[in-house]
Amino acid sequence: MIRQISVMSGKGGAGKTSVTAALLNLLPQVVAVDADVNASNLPILLTAQKLSESGYYGTEVAQISTESCTACGRCAEICAFAAIRQDEQRKFLVTDDCEGCAACFWICPAQSISMIPHRAGTQYLSRLENGFLLHAELIPGEDNSGKLIANIRELARKVAAEEGLDLILIDGPPGTSCQAIASLTGVDMVLAVVEESLSGLSDYQRLAQLMARFRIPHLVLVNKTGVDPELGKQIETTVTACGGEIIGRIPFDLEIPRALSRRETLLALPAYRPLLENICTRLQTSS
């Protein structure tokens, strides 16, 4: 049975990817997924050898055949996105503003419009020293409804099954949007990285509501602690009320960003290895 665990945070900058990279370096064998496709950072922190890549086609867009087009203009009239215009030769063309609604396809009397796949990004399979990494890059400005994340997660399951690996660790995107939902669906456990701040607490509450809706158990790692002890106590109370368990705390430590600037994980700082080893054990054994 393949076990899937997502590392999530309610906000960006909480330290989720830094923690995930360190855990991946501790695990004996693993398939990793970088589901933050808008800002894929795991490959920066991990030693990964790219094995293959493939295009991601998120949707279809319209294409007009200038040979059969009668220039009636009905497509331009119906387009809600103003994505169809005429060039200097008065031929109708589809611009990059097309959202793929296909209204023009259905209304064209000459049947001169077709819907064609539109490339929105690239998916990668890379080799790690202890397993594999699935990651992706979304082309800036392209739509990401979670389909790309679902794609690379499905590829991860196939790799895990083919290689006989029983653990998939997912570095999810921050927040609670459809991308986060695509990173949570079907997982066995979530490790929530919560920044000790008012925004971190508020965003954790939203993430906890989402996890509760999916009935996913979760552990909590509180990061950047020690700045506001009273807020720290409030986070403890909230985590308990939300059915979570605080598994550890990482203090506000300037050595951590310095290590990250050298592309080193938290394991480069010996003080944090015992905590990370304990988290690794809990993630592998908790049900």
60 CB-contact burial (10 Å; exposed 0-12 / middle 13-18 / buried 19+): middle
Q: Please state which of the ranges 87-96, 139-148, 273-282 shows the lowest mean pLDDT.
A: 139-148
Q: What percent of the chain has pLDDT over 70?
A: 99
> Half-sphere exposure of 149 toward its Cβ, with a 13 Å CA cutoff?
26
Q: How far apart are CA 52 and CA 152, in angstroms?
A: 13
Average pLDDT over residues 194-209: 94
Average pLDDT (86-107) is 92
Question: For residue 203, is pLDDT > 80?
Answer: yes
**Four-CA torsion 197, 198, 203, 207, nearest 10 degrees:** 70
239-274 pLDDT, tens digit each? 999 999 999 999 999 999 999 999 988 999 999 999
Give pLDDT, residue 59. Answer: 85
Find out if CATH 3.40.50.1000 is the number for domain 59-119.
no
Domain 3-47+129-285 matching CATH 3.40.50.300: the answer reads yes
CA distances from 99 to 64, 116, 149, 177, 213 (A): 15, 12, 20, 20, 31
Q: pLDDT tens across 145-165, in order?
A: 688 999 999 999 999 999 999
Residue 224's region, left for phi above 0, alpha for psi from -120 to 50, else beta, is left
Higher pLDDT, 171 or 96: 171
**Sign of the dihedral through C-alpha 193, 198, 203, 207:** positive
What's the rounded Cα separation, in Å, for the pair 222 and 235?
9
Q: Which pLDDT does position 144 carry in this prediction?
A: 66
Q: Are strands 84-86 and 167-171 parallel, antiparallel or unpaired?
A: unpaired
Can you tell me the mean pLDDT for 93-122? Answer: 94
List, for residues 208-218, the tens digit of each pLDDT value: 999 999 999 99
**DSSP track, 237-283:** HHHHHTT-EEEEEEE--THHHHHHHTT--GGGSGGGHHHHHHHHHHH
CA angle 281–285–287, rounded 5-degree value: 140
Name the β-bridge partners of 189.
5
Q: Which amino acid is at 282?
A: R
Confidence at residue 284, expressed as pLDDT on a 0 to 100 scale: 83
How far is it, in rounded angstroms, from Cα 183 to Cα 70? 46
Q: How many residues does the chain have?
A: 287
Mean pLDDT of 41-57: 91
pLDDT of 110 above 70: yes
Which pair of tokens denotes residue 249?
A: 């705390």
The yes-or-no verdict on residue 85 having pLDDT over 90 is yes
Question: Where exactly are the structural domains of the chain?
Answer: 3-47+129-285, 59-119
- If you average pLDDT over residues 102-110, what whole number do you get? 96
As a whole number of angstroms, the distance between CA 109 and CA 239 comes to 60
Radius of gyration of the chain (CA): 23
Using DSSP bridges, classify how beta strands 3-8 and 167-171 pair: parallel, antiparallel or unpaired: parallel
Q: What is the mean pLDDT of the chain?
A: 92
- Residue 95 CA: distances (Å) to CA of 63, 87, 125: 9, 11, 32
pLDDT at 287: 59
Give 88's pLDDT tier (boundaries 50, 70, 90).
Answer: confident
